[in-house]
Structure 1
């Protein structure tokens, strides 16, 4: 059973809040206000947050994920006040994979992927040299059904990954080759268009020179293809030592950026029909030396992630803080309207 007594930072937040585990799940830990000012005044919350940042940071490392529930976070502007307590990432969401619109200076849609799509478990932007160390999600409006931002403790996941797969990734790394289509070119299918982003969308520019310059600044190898699309490549370690705890953790997107039936569902047939063996696909993930990752290795990841998945129901005003190294996340399909927003933090 999860126990707050086992979290060293639990007592560091004082008497103004209460900490509660999520049943018997290892994460997240819920932090709720005990005083009216934190329930009603965003200024009081921002001040409390800044004052208690050291204890919150340690709790996030220990717990992996924290849900702030019942605080004065009524809208995107209030969420932005909390986000401003953290340093921004260097490149924002430049070259990011998920379709999302920017809502405020540091706030984005969590994703604009169709409601029926399940987004697989992943660590944010592990396919890039520059990634957030923390992520903040804000629920402005929960969906009628489903729509949970589900979580997995990557310490447990790493322990379960077959030793041969861990050793191969440690030795060879992971190579991500991603393609962004030309803005005037459609795949011919609206679902594929959503997931195969244009380079103008991915790099927030219509200037090809700036897009290539941004690739170089980010540490990506960028190249233009004959069809006007932009392909980028990045070799990542695939494993990472946590910057605070020192734990070696699985840190990659092999499970989500390998196009197969497990992570694309009904879209897999669309991908196969459209791309075949000639068109550049939005994702190609291999070992760092270009060698194919065995299908059985990739297939082994999904039941491991599933066994370690935890999903809690969103409530209006919730802020979910995630340690991006220790905790992976995904999104369940949903019905009804859903407004969940995200900020990338360091």
Structure 2
């Protein structure tokens, strides 16, 4: 998909089934991340090894007034922050009946990427933001943080039914590049970083280069990205002539995942800028039209546009 990097951001739940009928949170309180342990989550008993499909049992019906999270396996490292991407496996149950609804991430396809970014099912965000890499958590989700007032008839979830989620966080990706700052050439766009790592970009008032140019802004120390890898990145893209942002994973609320190289899911210049770089690096790249969207452009990008991207390389899946 080459029309917009944002469209290939994070994969998610048992896709349409679990998110298609979810409601938008009714208030800021309902959408705030994080959950703590409570009587409902502590009533969930989980068997099975971490990384393998769990089995949950609990008294029914569970009727929590807010999302609750109990840690089954502690994990290591910091608790995930809102906006971080993680690879997870999960099992979902109807909290009123005890019936299993869906599982994902425990078969041969492996764990799936999900972001803690207030997606339609807020309970998933709250589950992630009470977990660490290596954690298994049991989360009880009230209707307002789950499918909302309509429930989900296709999954036999009534409007008043809670959900029980058991989630294994097998890997957590950092929210920003953490490499060593590097000097850049004169005339290259200036990049300044906000405290959270979000880039601010100033494009020089000069004619755009005719060839692709890139600089390593932060030099990471992780593995080298190779042709065919699936990468996790945060990025911001601006139009050279206008200096305006046309797409940003930071603004979209979560890092993006895509394949680079011969079968890339992104424009050639973006892919070329990443291959050969180390995880933890931040790269700036000037992409001429021939390596971008060419003479066609798209809804956000005029035909013949030169682009500039700042890309944080967060990991390889």
For the aligned pair, the TM-score class normalised by the smaller chain equals: under 0.3
* Structure with the greater alpha carbon radius of gyration: 2
Flag the structure with more relative contact order, 1 or 2, with Cα contacts below 8 A and sequence separation at least 6: 1
TM-score by length of 2: 0.26
